[in-house]
Amino acid sequence: MEPSSPLLDIRDLTVSFGDGRFQAVKGVDFQLFSGEVVGLVGESGSGKSLTAFSLMGLLPHGARLDRGAMIFQGQDLVALDRRTRRELCGRRMGMVFQEPLTALNPVLTIGEQTAEIFRLRDGRSAKEARRLAVELLGQVGLPNPERAAESYPHRFSGGMRQRVVIAMALALKPALVIADEPTTALDPTIAAQIVRLLKNMAAERRATVLFITHNLKLLAGLARRVMVMYAGRLVEQTGADFADPLHPYAQGLLKAIPPDPADRSVTRLAPIPGQPSSLADDRPGCPFEPRCPERRDRCARELPPMFELPDGRLVRCFQRAPQGDGQAALRPAAQADVPPCSG
Ligand SMILES: Nc1ncnc2c1ncn2[C@@H]1O[C@H](COP(=O)(O)OP(=O)(O)OP(=O)(O)O)[C@@H](O)[C@H]1O
Ligand SMILES: [Mg+2]
């Protein structure tokens, strides 16, 4: 049973470029509940990072939030003034980026920048902040944290830097941590350690984690739910066991995972045929239709709504609709109840 009120409730999130001409995130709806780890997967350009950046208030130059609500702990982030939002996001949300170097300041030592969080955002004295920083660096597995605190980021390996970034993101015990492809720059063994660390740190602090990746294998044993994005839209939400996805795109994604070298029964990858969708594509139907092995005439004309299956899974595909007739949609594709926003 889900608790009744979600930690985060995203409704109709829509982000565009070019003064609204190119929509990169199209009416995304989802909820996150306290303490869960949820995966967000999809191929490059599907809008995963823009969804995360919208939440953190960090949209890149040229991107515009067209519509949507982001209710976090009962407050709509979109309606907050800049300062309140920055303070709230700084304390209650943490972000772990793909490339840790971009998140670290090259001219401050690891200890200085970690201590700064406790000093500036938590009002601790310089001495107390330093003590907490060293303690935290030890907790994320840096050997000899006293000495590590004196080092500059460039002295560290990628895996060690990512440990520091995780420490900083979780320092103030945020309610929500967004990890955007935190392990793509790391080799697989280190990546597995980093995922474990993030999971354990978040569990100790009871933080909710939104884990963004294009690597479905990483989500095994980590996520409680998986959401799949394609061409700016959520196309599936399912349980953690992603062995049997519903959407034809998600099924293709699963077949395209490189096989485990130890598993000799799988000898070939099956890449999804066709080109990934582009921002300029404004055809009316399902965005996956041109590549879909199960397409019907209707798919080219009409965008499927999100259907809810009896077991609670959600899928945006006419072929998977309950009774196959498209009558049991969770919500109509065009939502009218969320006002446009100016930001
Ligand atoms: N600053 C920008 N200017 C113009 N277009 C952008 C910008 N940032 C992102 N986009 C476009 O928005 C779309 C979604 O980008 P986003 O970064 O969210 O994708 P993603 O799913 O995170 O992909 P990846 O797996 O490569 O990180 C892409 O088509 C991308 O080209
Ligand atoms: Mg991205």
| Residue 134 contacts residue 59 (beta carbons within 8 Å) | no
Among 25, 40, 48, name the best residue to mutate to test ligand 1's pocket (greatest count of ligand atoms within 8 A of Cβ).
48
3-state DSSP assignment of residue 100: helix
Among 41, 44, 282, name the best residue to mutate to test ligand 1's pocket (greatest count of ligand atoms within 8 A of Cβ).
44
Nearest listed ligand to the Cα of residue 44: 1
E strand residue ranges, 214-286: 225-230, 233-239
Residue among 202, 206, 245 nearest 225 (CA): 245
| pLDDT exceeds cutoff 70 at 94 | yes
Between 328 and 225, residue with greater pLDDT: 225
Q: What is the C-alpha to C-alpha distance for residues 294 and 303, in angstroms, rounded to an integer? A: 15
What's the average model confidence in pLDDT over 82-95? 89
Domain spans in the chain, listed from the N-terminal domain onward: 8-107+152-331
| Residue 18, ligand 1, Cβ within 6 A | no
Nearest listed ligand to the Cα of residue 62: 1
- The ligand 1 atom at the shortest distance from the C-alpha of residue 98 is 27
Structure confidence at residue 334 (pLDDT): 38
Class of domain 8-107+152-331: alpha beta
Nearest listed ligand to the Cα of residue 97: 2
| Residue 24, ligand 1, Cβ within 6 A | yes
Query: Cα dist. 288→39, 63, 217, 231, 303 in Å?
Result: 21, 24, 23, 8, 10
Query: Atom 18 of ligand 1 has which residue's CA nearest to it?
Result: 47
Quote the mean pLDDT of the chain: 87
Give the pLDDT band (50/70/90) at residue 100. confident
- How many angstroms does the Cα of residue 45 sit away from the middle of ligand 1? 5
| Residue 47, ligand 1, Cβ within 6 A | yes
